Every structure is written in structure tokens, then in C-alpha cells.
Structure 1
């Protein structure tokens, strides 16, 4: 089924089209949910809730931009709303230091190492992990993050800086990074 056929079928509430849509995008979207969730079960719950929203809001898709991007945005907002509902994103950890961490693609030479980095990101407190994901991976600005999470823009910047420092420590302890160095996150611009 083509993406257009899936979209048209979903607009008509076709179960077959909805199943095709879910099968096509659920793997990628589960990975998105997993970055925000505490565990796989929470990620799966976020995914299900997100797809319910996708199906109920599909009539709002205006074919401007990528359909997958539209779905991703709904999934991200679902994850954030879930965290806000449980007030988990407000967790904060005081750090003794705040070293700068930036991850450059060439410092991650293999898929295996990239998976290790993702698992290390999951070890961050949920507040740090959420801001890091939104800023460095999803490309949101600190202003957008502050609006989305109902926090101050300075809090977003602070949590991002602390997340980078904590991630660097975790990567060094797990021998993914051999020594402290500048690492450039796949961010839109970096800090």
C-alpha cells in the first residue's frame, strides 16, 4: 500500500489502512518513545496512545511536509504530555561540575557504539534525558522546549548542559569514550 493510499484509507477509517500505517511507522516511533520512557512498557503505552491520536487527528494532516514527520511530532507531544502528567520531567540532579559535551558523528564509528550511546542517554535522569532528546536529537530550540515542558528557557539550557556533562561521565565510565574530549551532539547548532 502506498503512503497516499494508506492516508486516504485512514481518512475513511479503514482498519486495513490503519494497520498498514501502524506497521509502517510503529518501529521508528517506538524508538522515539523509548528515548523518553522509563522502560519498554511505558514506551509501548506511549506508542499506543500516540497512534490513537494519529488516527483521530489524521484529518488535520495537510500534506505539507513529510507524513512521517507529522506522525513523529504527534508521538513526541504524546510522550511529553505523558511525562508532564506524571511530573517526571521536572526531576533534576545537582552536579559538582558541568563539563561541556558535544558528540560528533566521527566519534561513533559503529552502529554498536551508537546503540551503546543511546543506552547511556537512557541512564540520564528523565528531566535531563527529555531536554537532551528534544534539543539534540529532535532539533527543538530551548524556547520551544520551555513552552512544551512549561519550564523556564534557562532551565532547559541548564538541564541540557548538565545532561551533556553527565552523559560524558557515563560514556567514560563505560569505556565508550577513552578520555574527556569535545563531543558534538547531533544537535541543531550545539551550545
Structure 2
């Protein structure tokens, strides 16, 4: 049985509400979707909450999946939207940042490029650094740099202006750059010991 046929059987089982098929779908994409949720959360527990809420939406709406595009992409979109909704629910409790704040220019650092940082750091290190960002910065950074959305799309999703999206991204990059430099210098010192 090919992948497409297996996927169709899985979808039909989920549409019928069969727990066995729901469990199989959950396990099939758990790792990738948990990774998505981690990028939009402050902790593993919060990511698990988002993941479970997202899967509830997947199972409730599986009948709406028309087979256009990949099933994984459809589920990913639901997880991202669930994370954004989670962000909106908690927004009033967290600091938000707007364009009216002082705009920080991102310092250029010739010896520290994105490519060599990624090569030198483990995914978990990067994820931990991203999690230290204020929620507004973290969300914009994840949507732009990881998920590939543009500022117009981010502005619509988060109900902010494009300028705020650009500002939050610039500030996130500046903070990340500083934290990455600290981590790399700590790793270099550790290796020299």
C-alpha cells in the first residue's frame, strides 16, 4: 500500500471517529507538530496544551480536509493557528510591543552569520534561546523566520500593523544575536578547558 492510500485510509478512519486511527494519526505527526508548538510556547507544558488543543481541532475538522496539499501541511496550519489563538488569549497577561516604542537597529556582525550559527548550535539550544524572547517577539520571529510567513500575513494573523511586525522581528533578531554570541562564547570557553 502506497503512502497516499495509507493516508486516505487513516483520514477515513478519523472521519468515522475511530480511536485507533486517531491514535495512528496523532503518533505519525506527533514529533513534527510538537516541534511547531514548542516554537510558539514558553514551556514544554504549554506546547503540549497547544498540541492537544490542535489535535482536537484536527479530529473535529478532518472532514474539511480536501486532499489539496499535504495532510501534514494541513495539520501544521491548524497547529500554528491554534498557537496564535493561544497567544491572543494570553496576550492581555503578557507584555506586548508596538511600533511606538524606540526602534532598535539590528547591529551587523560580520563574523556571526546565520549559517555558521546554525551549524555550530544544536536545535535545542536555538529553541531555548528563542523561548527567552518576550511573547510578541517570539511569535513574530517564529512565524517569519521558521514558518515563512511575510509581514502582511503576520500582521493579519496577530492583528497588529506590518510596522509592528517588522519592529518586533528586528528587536527579536537583535536580542537573539546577543544571546547567541553569549552561548557561543560559553561553548568556546568550555571547549578550551
Normalised by the length of structure 1, the TM-score is 0.83
Structure showing greater radius of gyration is 2
Asked if 1:168 corresponds to 2:177, the answer is yes
Gaps of 5+ in 1: 179-191
Gaps of 5+ in 2: 188-193
**Aligned mates of 1:177, 1:96 — CA distance in 2:** 26
| Structure (1 or 2) with the greater helix fraction | 2
Asked if 1:47 corresponds to 2:51, the answer is yes
How far off its partner does 1:176 sit? 6.0
Asked if 1:104 corresponds to 2:114, the answer is yes
**Aligned mates of 1:48, 1:17 — CA distance in 2:** 16
> What is the 5 A alignment of 1:7-86?
7-86=11-90
How far off its partner does 1:156 sit? 0.3
Judge which range, 26-35 or 63-72, deviates more.
Answer: 26-35
Structure 1 residue ranges, 4+ long, deviating more than 4 angstroms after superposition: 93-97, 100-103
> Do the aligned residues in 1 keep the contact of 2:137 with 2:171 (CA within 8 Å)?
yes
> CA-atom RMSD, angstroms?
2.4
**Aligned mates of 1:59, 1:96 — CA distance in 2:** 46
Name the count of aligned residue pairs.
177
In 2 relative to 1, CA 50–105 (structure 1 residues): closer, same or farther, beyond 3 Å? same
- Give secondary structure in 2 for the equivalent of 1:108: helix
In 2 relative to 1, CA 73–96 (structure 1 residues): closer, same or farther, beyond 3 Å? closer
> Do the aligned residues in 2 keep the contact of 1:22 with 1:51 (CA within 8 Å)?
yes
Judge which range, 3-12 or 130-139, deviates more.
Answer: 3-12
